[in-house]
Structure 1
């Protein structure tokens, strides 16, 4: 069993004014009991249901009692005659929650797909419930739920004096319904699950050419029922358990009948024929204006649905442009909003940017065609340019800059205050009929409610996107071994931002960490979690942890957030000296590797479960890269969609990269700046190729491309040292010789002091083997390796202490220093700035 309930939201979002007008018109002269029956029929038809119930709540907290029923077998209706308010069924739950409830078919025993229930609103809370047994699979759409609310509100005003149905009363009511059906002019036939006729009225006897003795006969044995398509449609309605409407022409009298088939909960079917011959003949002779009016009315129903589904302000404007401009023959639309005492242009159709700048930001106090309706809250219709100039002579200049010659200025009023104005304009002068003015005024109310809701979404979405942008790196670092470019792409639609992120982190000895990840889910909470994980990765990376250790700690952090938090992550460390990329994956896609010869491939790597679900150890993969390569990392939002599987998307990415390599060289570049520009362009091309319609996507995406380069052999010098007091002297001798070779004699004294302290500490406190390595890059890097896992620490030495100042001296003489641990020991490293005027070998 699954159940869903939600608040009703804004009533105006889904009103079906046409259906309500028809309901009110049809109810004229009827008693309240008959009006409720009519309302229940409208609700059942609107949801394409199989039947319905309406309950009222007894005063003094008694049970819900049935007041009218439609389309249900007597035995079924009797089970719903009295319901305790605290019972766990949809009508009672709708009463208690004062909101919509839907229950699917798993808990039902009447052959329906589900039950949709809404409360009957009263001045002091719900006074009853309206329920419809749905026939189509799945929950009703928002527009049909909104219609259910509207009918319930109308029905609540007709409850006075309507008694609850007793079993006898229900039978009398059913007998009355039978007499009513018998007397009506429409054909009505009911059959059971075996297609045997259980009821037919007098009109059916006449059309089918049978008498009451046909009751009990199989419908298809009646010769008059052999109308082309009728049996097929009946069997379809019975099989799909959903109402079916269609037109047919009766062969005996050549008259047109509108046919409706409604499956019954007991397994049968009702068949009704309404003679629409005269209506068809009148419709064939309708004038073009009548047809246009009918088309506009139909479009308004479509507009209601579109506005209900609109999420952002742009969606609202798009819906108005699509569903309002064509039926009225308009070609221009401007939606303006009131902000800070000025009228600002929100969006438009059919206007130039130059013209929009002229009307943007007009003070509300000004005398203009837009501000007047806002102040008076009354629509204004101007039918020609001459009329416009007569009303607003000070705006004559605007008419020469615009191609429009008639306008409807519709104030947008929501929650009792003016929020803006909707301007519908026409290329030619025209008059507005009373019906058109009424319809456009009604449209403005729907648009205002949708726009107010959409602006709240826009504000929240903007704040969420700003938060996410602030949590992502503003720029990627300029590193000797890696040039990188990245893109973050928020989803084109959806309720909020996501949790995709990327980063490039500078490590010691020109090593680089590259990370990309995706927090599962969407929303501000996920974006904040992304920021926490990115901060955690940077902190753990500063500790020089191996990829598997880092992901292990990160998984613990995600697990501590709660059981509903999961994230995927790829963490890679590239060493330009060895050209080895160490990589660990937690539920994430492996990178795509592009080589200078045009080879493009994605290695088959073991992928551990996502963070929050995985248990250490994580598997580490070591990829031996060529001297130059491109590493392409991405999240699944770039390669996966509703109509494209991940594997297909990755194949498309690799194919595009092969084509891009054939067109442009990303390796033979003149400078790092040139390499950066080419990678930026490649990011844009990939996004355009894989996500050509960003506005239709439901997931955010991240893309990170890293151009890796190896350290030249001539920029690395390594020496083995003895594990005795002679080691420091050997190290100083090596340093002097190597710096002279590199032309860095200016750093000789400082570097000798640094290596003397580091090597001396190893000899006194650690163990061998001992090795010294010098790297020439954008800085001078000195590394001392030993076989101990002891962590060196700076300590405060007293005035009389003879030692303890070595690491203080190291920190003072170097720009950066630190320790990283290896499988067989550790490395203490320092970095020094190159002398002014010295050109880095890797710029």
Structure 2
């Protein structure tokens, strides 16, 4: 932290981990190994990742080293998957620095972290890599008053720090001891000079002489120092305050507004204030001054006219172990945001399992569902889960706790192991595992869909407030699981429909090599209107077509099937006539959707092709010498608009070795990049690709498109390479033009 040159700083080092559980015995880097923080970058927080067998952009990242903030704040970011909608995932996948200049930009570009942390701060995420290896990523936070852009010096400092971290990772891996994340991120604290006895006494006397009360909170919010005047204003004894959280020691402070202001100060590194009411009506003003080691709080009586935040629940116990309502809301909000973006059942299972265990302080978790009237464990995290697993094939009427809560919809809580064993002797509990148990029904739309089981490593009273929190979290999980099941069903239906509408196989054409790829959009029903086809006409002529129907739904797919059938029926006619006939059919149907289409008539006997387009992206031509360029064709109107539209054709010669690439716009469209630039990028990839293996080239082009940016449209690709001239009927070889 000292090397950043910042007055406030917070370093994150998330490390990759392609396992679903924490890896064994692998050590996180020490502060000395990590080299502090990147030199010259006045950052407030950061994170780095470490080596594993696969590249960092293709695996889960785990938080490894943390500085400037408590672990509690970092719980939602312990694990970053490659496709998570967060800056770090984009930075590592795209191998570039991602800068987010403020709260509004964060909410716009990354809604999930913007919702979870609605505070003022700036953020930079960047990969940690060297020319040979992607080691992971780094996240840095700056205070809320940071300018909207990074300076050149800051960028250079970040780059130098990442290079240093990459060197640490490389040397460790070369020594046979690669750095890996531990079960918990390692906390790095700034170096501070320790005052002597006289100086410490003078500091305490100085603070005591200041008007008002003074309280010091560490990075976790725990009270580490309080003056006598502060204790008097709070209505407590100093001894009762030290070592506690304010909203736990003082029941009237257990209010979401209080903890929210604390979070705002800790994250934004800006002074915040709030007014709270101490019963029986004493108004107190709190000023929170954050720093890299904690928060200094000044307490003064508030004028009567100051607006006061609502007080906490007066019945809340000052020593209750259950989470505060603000902490519960924080967990609920994060889980809700995450599950909203989860698509299939596996996404829901992974997100819920990975987040609930650290958020709730549980030892282990299991998710169970009912299939064919029997229990099935679909996920577990933490300590090896065995309770009820031995009975996972038992009927739901067996009476074991997980089955009982699923059938009745009523949660069960067991504060001790003995209590569980007395109530349910059949519940298998391994020695040394689980001292308290919570069995929660997963209820969606008024019906149970499964069970959530939590185990804790010590006895737990499960106060009413905590039971409500756990039930709410289980309800969020159940609703997401129910939606995900529907999503998976629709996906399966969509894939079957798509498979029925696209060619099952491509014809073998002497003189041509052909490869095709189709990928549905990343979100939604997973079905769209992109299509392609190759039609063998005669011994020396072949037709190829590709198109894109507007929309990503069943209607688009149905129209796609009609367009493909119409083109197939007209194939063999001149290209302009094929498109004109198809266009008239679509305008007669009046589907309300427009279609782009490209049709090519390939004559291998004369080594020539004629092509016509209806608003479709131009094909790319890779010449035998490797030079690649878009083919300039006469423009044509989209199909389905004007029944009288005419389509002109353009031609080109096809010497052996010529490669045609027909594609839909989903393969090239990138947010923030013009179509011409994106097409030029595809042409460059096609030119540089190894043309010897057409299937490998197709995979490479699709892989590059997926890695360049998230895809929200279907993509189709059809590669056709001329290898020679087929024999004419009768055995006479074709004569090139």
Are the structure 2 counterparts of residues 646 and 336 from structure 1 closer, same or farther at C-alpha, using a change threshold of 3 Å? Answer: farther
Match of 2:563 among 533, 537, 542: 533
How far, CA to CA, are the matches of 2:363 and 2:684 in structure 1? 43
SS at match of 1:521: coil
Q: Are 2:697 and 1:682 equivalent residues in the alignment?
A: yes
| TM superposition shift of 1:519 | 0.7
> Quick check: which one's helix share is greater?
1
Alignment of 1:251-400 (within 5 A): 255-256=285-286, 274=306, 294-307=326-339, 312-317=344-349, 320-321=352-353, 324-330=356-362, 333-345=365-377, 363-381=395-413, 396=428, 399=430
| TM superposition shift of 1:635 | 1.0
Match of 1:645 among 655, 659, 674: 674
Are the structure 2 counterparts of residues 776 and 365 from structure 1 closer, same or farther at C-alpha, using a change threshold of 3 Å? Answer: farther
1:636 alignment counterpart: 665
1:555 alignment counterpart: 583
* Contact 2:521–2:711 (CA under 8 A) maintained in structure 1: yes
How far, CA to CA, are the matches of 2:616 and 2:400 in structure 1? 58
| TM superposition shift of 1:691 | 0.6
SS at match of 1:590: coil
How far, CA to CA, are the matches of 2:682 and 2:321 in structure 1? 54
* Contact 2:627–2:687 (CA under 8 A) maintained in structure 1: yes
| TM superposition shift of 1:312 | 4.3
Deviates more, 1:570-579 or 1:330-339: 330-339
Alignment of 1:751-770 (within 5 A): none
Alignment of 1:282-681 (within 5 A): 294-307=326-339, 312-317=344-349, 320-321=352-353, 324-330=356-362, 333-345=365-377, 363-381=395-413, 396=428, 399=430, 407-424=437-454, 428-429=457-458, 431=460, 433-434=462-463, 435-541=465-571, 544-562=572-590, 564-613=592-641, 615-661=644-690, 665-666=691-692, 678-681=693-696
Q: TM-score, normalised by structure 2?
A: 0.52
SS at match of 1:470: helix
Q: Write out per-residue CA displacement over residues 618-676 of structure 1, whole angstroms, 9 at most, x where no aligned residue.
A: 12111112212222221111211334433332222222223323xxx51xxxxxxxxxx
* Contact 1:385–1:399 (CA under 8 A) maintained in structure 2: no
| TM superposition shift of 1:612 | 0.9
* Larger RCO (CA under 8 A, 6+ residues apart): 2
* Contact 1:482–1:512 (CA under 8 A) maintained in structure 2: no
Q: Which runs of 5+ in 1 are unaligned?
A: 1-136, 143-244, 259-271, 667-677, 717-772, 782-843
2:75 alignment counterpart: none
| TM superposition shift of 1:479 | 1.7
| TM superposition shift of 1:527 | 1.0
- Aligned pair count reads 443
* Contact 2:388–2:400 (CA under 8 A) maintained in structure 1: no
How far, CA to CA, are the matches of 2:494 and 2:354 in structure 1? 29
SS at match of 1:497: coil
* Contact 1:652–1:690 (CA under 8 A) maintained in structure 2: no
| TM superposition shift of 1:711 | 0.6
Q: Are 2:730 and 1:774 equivalent residues in the alignment?
A: yes
Q: TM-score, normalised by structure 1?
A: 0.46
Deviates more, 1:403-412 or 1:521-530: 403-412
Q: Write out per-residue CA displacement over residues 153-197 of structure 1, whole angstroms, 9 at most, x where no aligned residue.
A: xxxxxxxxxxxxxxxxxxxxxxxxxxxxxxxxxxxxxxxxxxxxx
SS at match of 1:536: helix
How far, CA to CA, are the matches of 1:473 and 1:378 in structure 2? 51
Q: Which has the larger radius of gyration?
A: 1
| TM superposition shift of 1:248 | 4.7
How far, CA to CA, are the matches of 1:563 and 1:273 in structure 2? 65
How far, CA to CA, are the matches of 1:429 and 1:686 in structure 2? 54
How far, CA to CA, are the matches of 1:321 and 1:649 in structure 2? 39
